[in-house]
């Protein structure tokens, strides 16, 4: 069996998973010590967010050395020990790779900005000012303000789609592509099982630096970049050629895995484009589900049917380190609703990403303004989405258990400690037990893991679909409405049910009821 097909991948945010050194920041040794817990969940792989050398302006997504482990997290030897332990537990290891941009402290950028005629002069996106000194075009950065920063040494602007301290690489340049392939090969040679490619559709910019057109809107957007259609600063067709080079490199190693993060105005279409054929990404996920604020059957049907006839293969997540946790964002911090949503996620077709704490049902944490660390949250406070609420430390015990430090890098939410792993571990009624049961059912079901998708007739408010494999069909039904609902389930046998009952051919679901039936 292809290990990744329909797999469940557990995302670990290293700063917040487990602190072995007592400095208040999670580290690689801490992760290694907790891998037994992760393996016991039944997941197939872990994805590690960045642990590379970085000034931490964007908490690791500003890489200063692709091959170095930041001292905050440990050493390269610590990573090797983590990799060995994970493989010993039959866990694959996927690591982040950030090829759209680097830190402004990366040696490549320091050389590039030094002069216009050195060997790396064109390794980043530089452009002259307009005659009046204005930036080359109207592009806006994701984290607020214009996407161009003046550099007094070169007397030119450089592009940054995110923070000023995150200059964009010129991935059009053949030498840059070769350098990035070299960084990938370093980690593949070390034994990693694949890469999660950060903002993969941001790699290449429009060569003519054309202005983005304005978007019509009925109310003022929350952020400057939302005023525009992003036709020219991302999702350029030339990006796919480099993606194909990455895929070819990965395929040299056999059994390795490429998953891309898509940030686009047409997320599902872009997911399809980047996974089309056998020479692009193995899979991709977008923010289509991650940005949703209301759980309706229609959104899941749209996501699934977009890939129903496609050769490409999707990935899905409801939480990650960039968005408010789904129990709050979609579930209203309601236990029954959270369980229903988790069950939906683990029955979808594609690879499934669980973010650390999803299995515990953690709500989005409250972080007071004076404790915020996320530059995006601070910039857009109080109306921004804020990412720190999803990044607070993992609650291992009811006293915290993350670190021996008097004060961790972000505060633990008291609500999280009440939902700690220790508190749930031996409780068969807990969210953790429910998550384990769902993961085990998916792992053992060919239909849930790899089967086709077919929408099933259901009353309003109910999401129902069949997952169909050669020798197995599973009927999955979830009541997202406010009233009890019934639907036909003739010939089905229960596999996992909650707030549901099957009487003859009739399935009845209470609000937030879950039924996974063998057909």
- Residues carrying an active site annotation: 198, 252
Name, in order, each residue with C-beta under 8 angstroms of 260's C-beta and a sequence gap of 6 or more: 196, 197, 200, 201, 243, 274, 281, 283, 284, 285
CA dist 2 to 45, 52, 249, 351, 399, Å?
13, 29, 19, 12, 41
CB-side neighbour CA atoms (13 Å) of 8:
31
- 8 A C-beta contact, residue 318 and residue 312: no
Q: Give the helix ranges, DSSP H, for 255-362.
A: 267-274, 297-306, 326-329, 335-345
Q: What is the three-class DSSP state of 452?
A: strand
The C-alpha angle 243, 292, 202, rounded to 5 degrees, equals 25
Q: What is the Cα–Cα distance from 196 to 51, expressed in whole angstroms?
A: 13
* 283-286 and 315-317 beta bridge pairing: unpaired
Q: What is the Cα–Cα distance from 280 to 260, expressed in whole angstroms?
A: 10
Q: What is the DSSP letter of 436?
A: H
* Other C-beta atoms lying within 10 Å of the C-beta of residue 334: 17
Name, in order, each residue with C-beta under 8 angstroms of 269's C-beta and a sequence gap of 6 or more: 306
């Amino acid at each position: 069996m292809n290990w990744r097909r329909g797999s469940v991948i557990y995302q670990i945010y290293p700063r917040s998973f487990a602190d072995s050194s007592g400095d208040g920041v999670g580290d690689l040794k801490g992760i290694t010590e907790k891998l037994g817990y992760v393996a016991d969940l039944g997941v197939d792989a872990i994805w590690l967010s960045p642990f590379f050398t970085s000034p931490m302006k964007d908490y690791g997504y500003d890489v200063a050395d692709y091959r170095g482990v930041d001292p905050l997290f440990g050493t390269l030897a610590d990573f090797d020990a983590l990799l060995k332990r994970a493989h010993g537990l039959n866990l694959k290891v996927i690591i982040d790779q950030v090829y759209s941009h680097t830190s402004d402290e990366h040696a490549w950028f320091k050389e590039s900005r030094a002069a216009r005629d050195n060997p790396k002069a064109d390794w980043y996106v530089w452009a002259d000012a307009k005659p009046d000194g204005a930036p080359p075009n109207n592009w806006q950065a994701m984290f607020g303000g214009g996407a161009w920063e003046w550099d007094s040494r070169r007397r030119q602007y450089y592009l940054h789609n995110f923070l000023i301290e995150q200059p964009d690489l010129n991935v059009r340049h053949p030498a840059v592509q070769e350098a990035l392939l070299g960084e990938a090969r370093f980690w593949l040679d070390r034994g990693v099982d694949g890469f999660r490619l950060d903002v993969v559709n941001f790699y290449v910019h429009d060569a003519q630096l054309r202005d983005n057109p304005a978007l019509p809107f009925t109310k003022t957007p929350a952020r400057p970049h939302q005023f525009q259609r992003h036709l020219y600063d991302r999702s350029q067709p030339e990006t796919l050629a480099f993606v194909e080079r990455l895929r070819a490199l990965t395929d040299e190693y056999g059994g390795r895995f490429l998953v891309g993060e898509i940030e686009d105005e047409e997320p599902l279409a872009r997911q399809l484009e980047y996974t089309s054929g056998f020479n692009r990404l193995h899979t991709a996920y977008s923010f289509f589900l991650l940005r949703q604020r209301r759980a309706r059957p229609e959104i899941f049907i749209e996501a699934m049917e977009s890939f129903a006839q496609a050769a490409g293969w999707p990935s899905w997540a409801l939480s990650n380190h960039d968005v408010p946790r789904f129990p709050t964002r979609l579930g209203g911090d309601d236990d029954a609703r959270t369980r229903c949503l988790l069950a939906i996620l683990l029955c979808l077709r594609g690879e499934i990403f669980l973010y650390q704490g999803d299995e515990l049902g953690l709500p989005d944490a409250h972080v007071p303004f004076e404790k915020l660390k996320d530059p995006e949250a601070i910039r857009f406070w109080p109306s921004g989405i804020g990412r720190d609420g999803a990044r607070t430390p993992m609650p291992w015990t009811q006293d915290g258990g993350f670190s021996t430090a008097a004060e961790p890098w972000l505060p633990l939410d008291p609500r999280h400690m009440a939902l700690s792993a220790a508190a749930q571990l031996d409780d068969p009624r807990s969210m953790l037990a429910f998550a384990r049961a769902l993961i085990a059912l998916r792992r053992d079901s060919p239909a849930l893991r790899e089967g086709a998708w077919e929408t099933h007739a259901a009353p309003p408010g109910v999401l129902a679909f069949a997952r169909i494999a050669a020798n197995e069909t599973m009927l999955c039904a979830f009541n997202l409405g406010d009233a009890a609902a019934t639907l036909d389930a003739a010939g089905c046998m229960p596999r996992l049910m909650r707030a549901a009952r099957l009487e003859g051919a009739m399935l009845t679901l209470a609000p937030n009821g879950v039924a996974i039936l063998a057909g």
